Amino acid sequence: MFYRSGKWDAKRPDSGGVESPFTQRQFGATVSGPLIKDKLFYVVSVERYDTDDSTYTNYDPALVSAVQSSSGYTLHPGLQTWNESYTTGLIKLDWYASAASHWTFRYNAAKESNGSQLGWGGGGGPQGIQDVTSGGTRDITDQSFSLANLWTPSGTFVNDFRILGSKRDHDLESLDPTLGPSVTLAGIATFGTQRFLPQVRTEKDYELFDAATWFTGKHTLKAGVDLMQTKVSGSLPLQFAGVYRFQAFGPFTSGLQAMQAPNPYGGQGLPVAFIQGFGKDSLDIKAGYYSAFFQDNWQITDRFSLNLGLRYDKESLPAFHDVSDYDALAAGGPAQLTSWTIQTLPGSTGGTVVPGGPYYAKDLSTHSNDWSSSRVSPRLSFNWQATDVTRFYGGYGTFSGRTQLGPFGAVFLNNGTDMQTIVQILQAD
């Protein structure tokens, strides 16, 4: 068991002289033993990590008042507390069915939460001080199981068989209770919904693996297959809440002044950029990964061995529209842009409001890309004991990894058709 109290810590430099609450706890337990003597054994384990922490936001009171009166947003100065926790559990059973057959069942569960996954505070950079509303939380629930069998019917053959499955519920939520637009006053403050939040998704994985090994003479031969399927579903509303950026330009010496300025189209505020996504935000994709391999460990002499291998991988990803060819925004575009035409700004010379998008791919409904691929990867290595005190190693091979479905899913959705993004840029000469 581990316990730490923040009362024993020095005050943080960014806390404004205020004591920052902090407590950390970590504990766990494991029990194991036989269920059936010499046949069936169990292990049960639980572990918990828990931290209460805080972040201090040091705003100028005049800024808090100005933002409230200009935009209706409420900034949150002072100390904000948050919690991070992680709980894991394991159940494992080992069954010795015979001298040649050993079965293992394993179940894992985990629950994780982090109230400051996307942190806030800071200051001094392009985003200025980040309000708590620009932060995000994370909640993850994991479950997985595996069933494995190790079969050794003779001294010259071993077979390793496994079935695995897992499920992950992954939620990233905004700390802005209103889910309002993200606003940046360059170098001063950022507040409102982080542009890529909220994100909610579920991932399910299923895998079948089998590898057989033969020992014959000077050769150890091994062959196997690895078959895996992944399903991802959820939502990814990229910049759906809207993003405003205010900064110094023309007659305005700061982003705060630009936000307080009257807008020629009504209302208040002259952002140098506005971005908003809209359309379909739901994601439901499936990918497959299929592999087979063969290798030979050849002990040519007592001092020299050669390893030869060949691996085949096939990756099957969902097809989506080809977005390599774009058309810029044309006259009569979306209704959201009809009032954003080239205009002269009051108080500046030749200032213009210019639509910078959206950009649409041409004729996306008529063709798509097949992202499936196959790869053959040879491998070769050697081990040479040249003398009693000198050994040489060497090898060559080609290796490849799986496509990460997180970034792939974002591109899959934000394809200019199902999901579109408006970009409006204000330029002042």
208-260 pLDDT per residue, tens: 999 999 999 999 999 999 999 999 999 888 888 888 888 888 788 888 888 88
Given a cut of 90, is residue 26 above it in pLDDT? yes
* Dihedral angle over CA of 244, 249, 252, 258, nearest 10: -10
For residue 427, give the H/E element and its range.
strand 419-427
- Tell me: pLDDT of 91 over 50: yes
**Residue 371 binned pLDDT confidence (cut-offs 50, 70, 90):** low
Distance (Å, whole) CA 273 – CA 112: 36
Residues 175-191 have a mean pLDDT of: 89
161 pLDDT exceeds 90?
yes
DSSP annotation string for 138-150:
EEEEEEEEEEEEE
Distances (CA, A) of 392 to 150, 240, 298, 307, 385: 33, 58, 16, 14, 6
Using CA of residue 189, residue 192, residue 196, residue 197, what is the dihedral sign? positive
Q: Can you give the pLDDT at residue 204?
A: 95
Chain segment 100-117, per-residue pLDDT in tens: 999 999 999 999 999 999
- CA-closest candidate to residue 293, choices 206, 153, 398: 398
Answer yes or no: are the C-beta atoms of 289 and 402 closer than 8 Å: yes
Q: Residues 6 or more apart from 301 whose CB is under 8 A from it? A: none
Q: Output the CA torsion sign for 125, 128, 131, 133.
A: negative
C-alpha–C-alpha distance, residues 206 and 163, integer Å: 8
Mean pLDDT (whole number) for 336-354: 34
CA count, 13 A, side-chain hemisphere, 21: 10
The pLDDT value recorded for residue 202 is 94
Inter-residue contact 410 to 238 (CB < 8 Å): yes
pLDDT at position 148 is: 98
Q: Between 55 and 33, name the one with better pLDDT.
A: 33
User: What are the structure tokens assigned to 327, written together?
Assistant: 């058309």
Are 167 and 202 a contacting pair, CB within 8 Å?
yes
pLDDT of residue 422: 79
Q: Which of 70-84, 192-206, 260-274, 289-303 has the lowest mean pLDDT?
A: 260-274
Tokens of 190: 């950022």
Task: Retrieve residue 63's tokens.
Answer: 């800024």
Give φ, ψ of 345 to 5 degrees.
-85, 140
CA 250/CA 6 separation, integer angstroms: 48
pLDDT, residue 119, reads 87
How are the residues of the chain apportioned to helix, strand and coil, as percentages rounded to the nearest 5? 10, 60, 35
